[in-house]
Amino acid sequence: MKQLLILFFFVISFGIQVAHAVTIGAPELIILLIVGFIAIAGVTGFVLLCLHLIKKTKTTKNEK
């Protein structure tokens, strides 16, 4: 969870730095932030899926 929080702040700060460096407008900044949030959601979903599958395999091993 700590790593996801660090990733969240990294994506936001990176998006803001890119927006200032290139002097792009607000719509592009919003697009960068949305893409960052989608990336975080994808990573979070993958991690939660892996944890769910690991727990599921442990319970099936205990039942046998």
Name the pTM for this structure: 0.54
Instruction: Give Cβ neighbours of residue 14 (< 8 Å, ≥ 6 apart).
Output: 36
pLDDT tens, position by position, 3-55 = 777 777 777 777 777 766 666 667 777 777 888 888 888 888 998 999 999 88
More confident residue, 64 or 33: 33
Q: How far are the Cα atoms of 8, 11, 20 from residue 17, in angstroms, in the given order?
A: 14, 10, 5
